[in-house]
Structure 1
């Protein structure tokens, strides 16, 4: 683990170089490679996104799509719903998802809130669009007890996705999730604040990871001992539907940044986008919103999400990390009016889209759709930057088209 004082020194030097490299023409801070700094080791990219939470309306959409595509498993095809982000997710060297709910059987029955049980087919789709690993510690991890954890991890195993945050045995819980990425060993940790009143069984303390600073710090040490060169923490925290991080989030984030060697912190649970911030050289994404979800009462904010994009470059024995973002949106068909008709030119299907990419192509978009997509991008951007992250170089992976 690299001592915090050294990391702060390196971060300060990198920040100073970033200011000098800002161009008068476009005002963008270029990455270290563009500034001419020479890396002394391999680099890699990480894409991390928000909650994958399959509500009943999304199951019905997958059922409709399967009838159209003739594909799917047990009459469900999540591919059309998710493919809008595949170009981004599949491009990353390591793509990390957050699998929020409990997986059931392929043919159901399925359940929504409060005790989720979702189609395991969504795990197969997550793998197909490019995800490599998933965090599984959330407030819904224990919705169906030990059997639910076993079913969920079995579904992720079958799909070929790595997982961390819950476990089927003490041995599995003790083994860090380490993925080799372009020759670099990257560990992922996963913790949640609690489990909606469901208690971890006394005889199975390893079943799911509950947030405690000492436990997270110890997990990082175990990962380093197992050979991890980079450690990423996925953490389920904060207040639902609140765009500002809570005091608890801010306090724990600072302690993790200053007292551990964790290289990146990505947060979930709020179901809306929260800011990104760099603390003592460590990037913290407080909340990535929803990757794919469909709450019973859509608020606009709950349909907006963000993919965090992080480039890791080794310099001077440490890791320099630059951060970018990709605003996303889940389109929601409107409710029919009193005579059963839907508004003209409205959204027809639940679809996860890369907002900038969809606006860039623009084929067949109505003025209303363009306005909604621009709002999603600009609101997400404003939220991400409202703790000063622009000073540390946070910018979109793809700018909003004119």
Structure 2
């Protein structure tokens, strides 16, 4: 018995040492686990708090005026073998066109291409490469409803649309079929869906072929109201292009103002005007539903063969669209505008950078903000 006791004591001593050192080894590991759990919990809490704080999303829309290509523009751009290069013409304004989430343009002279023969005023048809440089410059959508849509007939429309499809640029205002027309063009950015519609006052006396009214959208209020309703059902923001007004008049007439008001009350959120070939001021429209729409009555000429008497001045409109995530409410804010200038070589520049045009630049600023005094002249 006496011999057993020392061994028993030794065994207990060794077990005690094992427990002691075991605690020393495992304790730090347990502490680390607790610290990691606490850190993970803090990260989760921060992420949840951040999600709670995000209550809105926003996207920016830019628009430019008329792309109207005369022979004096496309002939010098010919590089041989029926090919054209317009990249030098727009390289100085490409950063402006790439600044927004979505940028749209009014393609007034259809890009029917060389196969059907290029032509200038009064019956326009432009090279495909005009579309190529717009794609290269950041244009996301083009409107095609204007007084020159039917200049070269259905074939030019089909050829132009074929090339826009190859470029992956959506178009609106002129279509291939009734089914094509029914497809409301939409673009989604940052959780906000924009829809696009376009209409013209007329087509220079050229009648639309019988049974093919889809070839060009005309300004008929009942049809516009119906299309706005359809667009509103599939989008958050309805962008409406209207080819209206009087050529070369720098102020909108009463007919333009009344049509803008009616279409705004029908549900249009942003109204972009074309046709006068000169800049007309912008304006907020208070709608009957308590919201407000924004209208630019004319964005002038952006890329064209016209010059002098303000016909060589256009610009880039930019406006921010904010969406409240919980309610889906849309708020338009922060409109801005950068005037542009087409020089005698038909290259486009920011007007502010053109030597000798300082007074013109200041005049354009005052002209464009006369009804929107908060209008700024630099993009964020």
The aligned counterpart of 2:214 is: 206
Taking the aligned partners of 1:264 and 1:61, their CA distance within structure 2 comes to: 36
1:144 Cα offset (Å):
1.4
Taking the aligned partners of 1:117 and 1:46, their CA distance within structure 2 comes to: 28
Q: Which of 279, 282, 292 is equivalent to 1:276?
A: 282
Q: CA RMSD in A?
A: 1.8
Taking the aligned partners of 1:252 and 1:175, their CA distance within structure 2 comes to: 24
Q: Which of 321, 339, 359 is equivalent to 1:327?
A: 339
**Unpaired stretches in structure 2, ≥5 consecutive residues:** 1-52, 287-291
TM-score scaled by structure 1? 0.76
Taking the aligned partners of 2:216 and 2:183, their CA distance within structure 1 comes to: 13
8 A Cα contact 1:166 1:208, kept in partner: yes
8 A Cα contact 1:304 1:380, kept in partner: no
1:168 Cα offset (Å):
0.7
Q: Which of 364, 377, 380 is equivalent to 2:361?
A: 377
Q: Which of 166, 170, 174 is equivalent to 1:158?
A: 166
1:222 Cα offset (Å):
1.2
Distance 1:222 1:238, change over 3 A: same
1:377 Cα offset (Å):
2.0
8 A Cα contact 1:328 1:377, kept in partner: no
More strand by share: 2
**Does 2:92 match 1:84?**
yes
1:368-388 Cα deviation digits (max 9, x unpaired): x5222x2342232122123x2
The aligned counterpart of 1:245 is: 252
Distance 1:253 1:143, change over 3 A: same
The aligned counterpart of 1:93 is: 101
8 A Cα contact 2:303 2:346, kept in partner: no
1:397 Cα offset (Å):
1.6
Taking the aligned partners of 1:184 and 1:317, their CA distance within structure 2 comes to: 9
Taking the aligned partners of 1:214 and 1:350, their CA distance within structure 2 comes to: 40
The aligned counterpart of 2:13 is: none
1:178-210 Cα deviation digits (max 9, x unpaired): 111222211000000000001112211211100
**Does 2:294 match 1:313?**
no
8 A Cα contact 2:93 2:349, kept in partner: yes
Distance 1:151 1:376, change over 3 A: farther
Taking the aligned partners of 1:208 and 1:107, their CA distance within structure 2 comes to: 22
1:225-281 Cα deviation digits (max 9, x unpaired): 3x2111100110000000010111011111222x22211001000000000000111
Aligned residue pairs total 320
The aligned counterpart of 2:378 is: 397
**Does 2:337 match 1:354?**
no
8 A Cα contact 2:111 2:160, kept in partner: yes
**Does 2:37 match 1:52?**
no
SS of the residue aligned with 1:51? strand
Taking the aligned partners of 1:39 and 1:300, their CA distance within structure 2 comes to: 48
Q: Which of 307, 313, 322 is equivalent to 1:304?
A: 313
TM-score scaled by structure 2? 0.80
SS of the residue aligned with 2:355? helix
SS of the residue aligned with 1:286? strand
Taking the aligned partners of 2:341 and 2:144, their CA distance within structure 1 comes to: 23
The aligned counterpart of 1:124 is: 132
**Does 2:179 match 1:171?**
yes
1:300 Cα offset (Å):
3.7
1:88-141 Cα deviation digits (max 9, x unpaired): 111210000111012232467311111101111100110100000001000000
Taking the aligned partners of 1:101 and 1:93, their CA distance within structure 2 comes to: 25
Instruction: Please identify the structure whose Cα radius of gyration is greater.
Output: 2
1:224 Cα offset (Å):
2.5
